[in-house]
Amino acid sequence: MSHVLEKITTENTERSRVFFFNNDIKHLKQLTQNDCGPACLKMAINFIHRNCPHALRNERVSNIDHLLRHLNLDSKSLWTIDIAHLCAMEKINHVMYTITLGVLDSYSSVDFYSNETNFRSEMLRIEQKFSKAKEIGINVIKDSIDLDRIKYELNRNNVCIVLVDANLLNGKNIHLEDEDKDLNEVYNSEDMKDFHRVSRASCCINPFGKKTDKNSKTDLNKMVEMNIKKSSRSSYCGHYITLVGYDDVKELIFYRNPSSVQNFSFTSYLNFEIARKSFGTDQDILFIYQSFI
């Protein structure tokens, strides 16, 4: 049965756990400069097929490469709707959220988009895919998703693939030696110091050390807006990551970074929100569910 497409409000997501870490979503390193999106999708496929025989999991993962060649996308940087299209072709239950149902003309002046390929032809391709989304089985909704909704989906063991500006994420990549490692040993106080790089050092709002409440959510949103306004549009570098958890006390997001050889990454809520809401991302996020269409 297909997942119901609906907007889940903040009121529905207040009961998320203070800490969550899904270590069953295994890290996968991207093989080329352009395939962070497919790598994240393969992590999701490995996870939703984790109880299947190893040969079947490998077959489902390998099929993504076959589909990319079939669609003539194997040498291109994918857009989020391309990843959603792959989900539809593989009968994977998914919902894509974005604040832009198409492509902004202003992206033609962004090096990341204009240098990749012929922008106009790529823009036409993506616009056509959006217009045919329902017809080809892509579930896409125009909406901005808040952090509470993301935590809600993670708590339900759903996969969250997020488009971020890699230059603003400022995360730490490390290797976890065993399955049950205490994460408090990983992100100690020394590790936290670098997370203040994005915001001004004199900022009076401390993004760490307390559980998120309504006031701190408002403060966080203000800091995000402030830092996005200061960031340079020309330096945008799109990158996909797969979320695996969060710590609501220390206000950290856990994720798999396909560009890193390390299998565990984390960054602050502040950096994460800035990176995923910056110009160029359209606040794209893809939720992948364990039930199949």
Q: Which two tokens stand for residue 75?
A: 């040498």
Task: Return the SS3 of 97.
Answer: strand
Mean of pLDDT values over 194-222: 49
Report d(CA 255, CA 34) in Å as an integer.
19
Report d(CA 232, CA 128) in Å as an integer.
29
Among 104-113, 136-145, 155-164, 262-271, the minimum mean pLDDT is found in 104-113
Angle CA 216–210–222, to nearest 5 = 25
Give the tens place of pLDDT for each residue, 140-194.
999 999 999 999 999 999 999 999 999 999 999 999 876 555 677 666 655 555 5
Q: Which two tokens stand for residue 50?
A: 């984790």
Q: Residue 181: what pLDDT?
A: 58
In the chain the domains, ranked by start, together with CATH numbers, are 17-292 (3.90.70.10)
Predicted model pTM: 0.85
Q: Residue 7: what pLDDT?
A: 40
Amino acid at 51: N
- Nearest-10 Cα torsion for 39, 42, 47, 50: -130
Reference 239, options 185, 187, 166; nearest CA is: 166
Rank 155-164, 201-210, 218-227 by mean pLDDT and report only the highest.
Answer: 155-164
Q: Residue 4: what pLDDT?
A: 33
When the pLDDT of each residue in the chain is averaged and rounded to a whole number, the result is 84
Q: Which two tokens stand for residue 168?
A: 């603003």
Tokens 């299209």, located at residue:
85
Reference 195, options 168, 218, 235, 221; nearest CA is: 168
Report d(CA 155, CA 176) in Å as an integer.
21
Q: What secondary structure does DSSP assign to 132-152, as a single string?
A: TTTTTT--EEE-PPPHHHHHH
**pLDDT score of 253 more than 50:** yes
